[in-house]
Structure 1
Amino acid sequence: MKNSAMPPAQPNKRLRVAFLLAGRFTLSAFANFVDVLRLAADEADMSRPILCEWTVLSDTLGPVRSSCGVRVQPDTRLRNAGSYDYLVVVGGLISDEVALSPAELAYLRRQAAAGVPVVGLCTGVFILQELGLLKGYRCCVSWFHHQDFMDRFEAETPVSDQIFVVDRDRLTCSGGHGAAHLAAFLVQRHIGQSAAIKSLNIMMIDEAMSGEKAQPGQALTRRARDELVKRAVLRMQQHIEMPKPIDDIARDLGTSRRTLERRFLSDLNQTPLKAYLELRLERALIRLRSSDASVTEVALACGFCDGPHLSRTLKAERGITPAEYRKAQGGGAEPELAVGVLLPRAE
């Protein structure tokens, strides 16, 4: 008589994901994405790859250094790669160096041509764009890298006011915690909503966000809660050097200037113009304390006419000149040299 006791059937993997890590990749984007898969794959926090499977691909299996210095060891050679539901490219620091090896780039092209959905996390979007894999697709980049993207790909306009974008078989994400929300979107699609919610909750993320949610960005004195205001602020952040007229920002967002002003006053208790000025001044202060650029250079990079214009505005709004601010930060720049004009010294 045959033994009727049979091992329990293992459910088929519902979600298979492979990663390609660029040199100096962003560790947080990778970790957030893969941790959602890990938590969705099993019960509680046991980490067994039952419902999900994930692997890091490489042509050499040499460790890949992240932007923070931590190295990740790939576990599957390209020649041993299986079939995957998604191929995720994790980017990192922007430079002129080749982020992926020629073999990895060729593999990425082949998989995209074969119809495998491709995901770009953080500046992985730059890699996909350089390979021509985003031609005809909408793509998402962080507001922080919006200008970098525009400078490198002049004919393209990325989406920089959402946490991620799904356009057919191309999925792109701004990075950071947005990677967790994109991974949760895929978990919900392939495994179910409860698995996605469980993963995020264990990671202490309150709720899953859809791709249309606005990216968090440079902080204002008050935190915006209105989604229209958040999107407007992101547009402002993307146009610091050449400030965009408020009428144009409202038009881009499909609303009127009057409506935008009303929403700003209700949400932030300030007008769009005042909020825009606050963002530009904060960016100027960051540059003043983190670089040795002249005040004129800082002024032009932050949408002011010249050094004296920045000096007058900063004095009026914050009660301090660029030179005084740098001196307080330990820069010690002379006031008259810093702004390019002779300023009266305080008695």
Structure 2
Amino acid sequence: MRKVGLILEDGFQLMGLAALAAFELANAELGDEGYQLTVLSERGGTVRSSMNAGIETVALGVMPDTLIVAGELVPSAISPGLRAYLTQAGREARRVAGVCTGAFVLAEAGLLDGRMATTHWAHANNLRSRFTKVTVDEDRIFIRDGNIWTSAGMSSAIDLTLALIEDDHGPALSRSIARKLVVYHRRPGGQSQFSALLELEPRSDRVKRALSYARENLRKPLSVEELAEAANLSPRQFSRIFREETGQSPAKAVEMLRLEAARVMLEEGRHPMEVVARDTGFADRDRMRRAFLRSYGQPPASLKRSLKLMEDSTII
């Protein structure tokens, strides 16, 4: 049975506990071959979250196989004792992971020096400026560099732990757990933290409904008339309201959704370009290529190669 320890310190975010959810479900399938889960803190006892919820913890002691550090709402300096324990973990634990701003804790202990890491996009510049020996890529869901793993925002803790389980027991178990968690299996580490729908930020239910319809029907032409019908508005009303709420034309927003879907398919690496273009509504490779050049500055084939090189360099 592999031992997994999750370190919490006062001010931790409750979502950090999601890091243990996938391991808990894995135990239901693995039994004695599963994971022994322990919630840790430097001195043990009750640790309080940023919402003042108390969690009982065990004091740091025997080094687990996998050590995970949960993030805090606002990253703070760590104690000499915790720094020493994490430095030891870098040498002795099979894997050490930082969830969200947990990357700051690993960086303070020197575990990220000379490595590539990620964190929540809102904290990436701070991590980069404070720890100049760390290569920060804020556009990643999670990154593995040797035995050190880091992930983006708190929800990505699930993506990271699914990847850890896959690393231990293969993709079949990881897929099974993802289904039980009712999450996509699993967002690739290289997938962007950013979402086209979040960037557009529509206010009204009608525009949200039109965008949801578009995302679910990317293979269709998705004319203004079709989107306006989904929003139950006239095409003229729809175009005006859509631009007021999103700052984009409907056609540009649809292209953003198509690009996001195409990039995910490229990251998965299993689809020929013709299939990606067809399934995301670009109709042909040339139209998709022009859209990629406008948005990413490189054609999809080059982006696919760079993503593959990035995964190869950070999964060691």
Q: Which runs of no fewer than 5 residues in structure 1 stay unpaired?
A: 1-12, 232-255, 265-347
Can you list the C-alpha shifts for 1:253-304, whole angstroms capped at 9, x where unaligned?
Answer: xxx998431779xxxxxxxxxxxxxxxxxxxxxxxxxxxxxxxxxxxxxxxx
Mean CA deviation greater in 53-62 or 168-177:
53-62
Q: State the alpha-carbon separation in 2 of the partners of residues 104 and 136 from structure 1.
A: 21
Q: Which residue number in structure 1 is paired with residue 71 of structure 2?
A: 91
- 1:70 counterpart = 2:53: yes
- Structure 1 residues 48 and 67: CA distance shift in structure 2, 3 A: farther
* 1:304-343 equivalent positions in 2, closer than 5 A: none
Q: Which residue number in structure 2 is paired with residue 133 of structure 1?
A: 111
- 1:226 counterpart = 2:259: yes
Higher normalized helix content (fraction of residues): 2
CA contact (8 A) 2:83 2:108 kept: no
CA contact (8 A) 2:20 2:37 kept: yes
CA contact (8 A) 1:51 1:191 kept: no
* 1:103-252 equivalent positions in 2, closer than 5 A: 103-114=81-92, 116-154=94-132, 156-216=134-194, 218-220=198-200, 221=246, 222=253, 224-227=257-260
Can you list the C-alpha shifts for 1:226-257, whole angstroms capped at 9, x where unaligned?
Answer: 249979xxxxxxxxxxxxxxxxxxxxxxxx99
CA contact (8 A) 1:224 1:230 kept: no
CA contact (8 A) 1:38 1:48 kept: no
Q: Which residue number in structure 1 is paired with residue 293 of structure 2?
A: 260
* 1:271-290 equivalent positions in 2, closer than 5 A: none
Q: State the alpha-carbon separation in 1 of the partners of residues 47 and 182 from structure 2.
A: 28
- Residue 150 of structure 1: CA displacement? 2.8
- Structure 1 residues 22 and 230: CA distance shift in structure 2, 3 A: farther
Aligned length: 218
Which structure has the larger Rg over C-alpha atoms?
1
- Residue 23 of structure 1: CA displacement? 2.4
CA RMSD of aligned residues (A): 2.9
TM-score normalised to structure 1 length: 0.56
TM-score normalised to structure 2 length: 0.61
- Residue 119 of structure 1: CA displacement? 0.6
CA contact (8 A) 2:11 2:49 kept: yes
Counterpart residue type for residue 77 of structure 1: A
